Amino acid sequence: MKGFTLLAAVSAASAHTIFVQLDAGGKVYPISHGVRTPTYDGPITNVASNDLACNGGPNPTLSTKEIITVQAGSTVKAVWRHTLTSGPGNVMDPSHKGPTLAYLKKVDNALTDTGIGGGWFKIQEEGYANGKWATNKVIDNAGQHYIDIPACIPSGQYLLRAEMIALHGAGSSAGAQLYMECAQINIVGGSGSLPAKTYSIPGIYKANDPGILVNIYSMTTSSKYVIPGPPLFTCSASSGAGGAVAGTPTTLLTVSVPEATAVAAAEPVEVEVPAMEEVPSCTVAQWQQCGGANFAGCTSCASGFNCKEINSYYHQCT
C-alpha cells in the first residue's frame, strides 16, 4: 500500500505544468524572460485566492526585469513545460484534461503590478469538442498555447495571463487544478479602447461553476462543456455592426422602370439593390482560429481574409 501511495504521489506531481516562456514576433524568448515563473509547478485550487491572478502562495514566483514587446493583432504562443528544465516532450500528463484560457490586464507598470483586482478581460478560450480537450492539443503541439492579441485595444503595458485548468479531480469541490503565470508585455500598434466591462481576479470563477465543478468521466464525445469565466472579448463583438446584414455588398443593377406616360422605349433608371449573395452563418475575424484538428467553430473568414494553416491543430484568418 505504501508503494501504491508513493506511486500515486509521483504520478500526480509529474502532471503539473508551468507557462515558462513566450514566443512572440517570431522570437522564442528564454525561459523566465518576462514571465513570472515559479520554481515549483503546483496548481492553485482555491478560486477565491489572490494567488489566482499570477500564481504565488504555495508556488512563489520569481520577479523578472524584462517586458516583451508584442504587436497588436499578432498571435503569440505561451510555451508550457512540466518544469523549468523540461523539454517539449514533457508538458503535462495527458490525463490532466481541461480548457485553455488567456486574459489581458492593462497596467501602468508591468514590472510591479501584482495583477490582483480588476481590469482583466478574456482574449482566448478553448474547451472540449469531439472528444478532445484543449489541454491535450497543447500537449500534442509541444506545449504551444496559441493566443491572439486583439488589434482593437490601446498600446501600452499589459499583463498577459495564460492558463490551463486540469479537471481530472474536478468531480469534488476544490478538485480542479488551475495553472497560470503572467507575462509582462508592451503592446504596440494598437488602436481603439479597452473593453467597456472588465473583471476582477479573484472573482472570475466560483467554486461551483459548471466548468470548475464537473465530472469529465461521465462526458461523451457529444457532451457540451461550459468554459468558466467571463465572456470572450473580440474586436468584432466590441465594434458592433450596422445595416441589415453586416458585410453584404451592394451592386448597381439596371432595372427598366416605365414612366407614367409610357412610350415605346422606356428610359432605363439605375436603382441600388443589394446583391443576393449567400452569407455564411458565421464568420471569423482576422487572427482568429478558423480550423484545425477537432476544431468545431466557424471556418469562414471575414471578407478580405483567408483561412491559413499554421499547423495541423491551428488554422487562422490572415
Average pLDDT on 91-98 reads 96
Q: If pLDDT is split at 50, 70 and 90, which confidence band does 24 have? A: very high
Q: For 207-216, write each residue's pLDDT tens digit.
A: 999 999 999 9
pLDDT at 223 over 70: yes
Q: What is the mean pLDDT of the chain?
A: 84
End-to-end CA distance of the chain: 56
Q: If pLDDT is split at 50, 70 and 90, which confidence band does 11 have? A: very low
**Residue 185 CB burial class (10 angstroms; 0-12, 13-18, ≥19):** buried
pLDDT at 243 over 50: no
The pair phi, psi for residue 3, each rounded to 5°, is: -65, -40
Average pLDDT on 220-237 reads 95
Predicted local distance difference test score (pLDDT) of residue 316: 64
pLDDT at 257 over 50: no
- Are 125 and 106 in contact by the 8 Å Cβ rule? The answer is no
Report cis status (omega within 30 of 0) of the bond before 202.
Answer: yes
Predicted local distance difference test score (pLDDT) of residue 139: 97
Average pLDDT on 157-168 reads 98
pLDDT at 250 over 70: no
Predicted local distance difference test score (pLDDT) of residue 305: 79
Predicted local distance difference test score (pLDDT) of residue 283: 79
Spatial distance between the Cα atoms of 24 and 68, rounded to a whole number of angstroms: 8
Determine what percent of the chain is predicted with pLDDT higher than 70: 77
Q: For 32-79, write each residue's pLDDT tens digit.
A: 999 999 999 999 999 999 999 999 999 999 999 999 999 999 999 999
Predicted local distance difference test score (pLDDT) of residue 300: 87
- Are 185 and 160 in contact by the 8 Å Cβ rule? The answer is yes
Q: If pLDDT is split at 50, 70 and 90, which confidence band does 194 have? A: very high
Average pLDDT on 105-113 reads 98
Predicted local distance difference test score (pLDDT) of residue 178: 98
Count of alpha carbons within 13 Å of 96, Cβ hemisphere only? 25
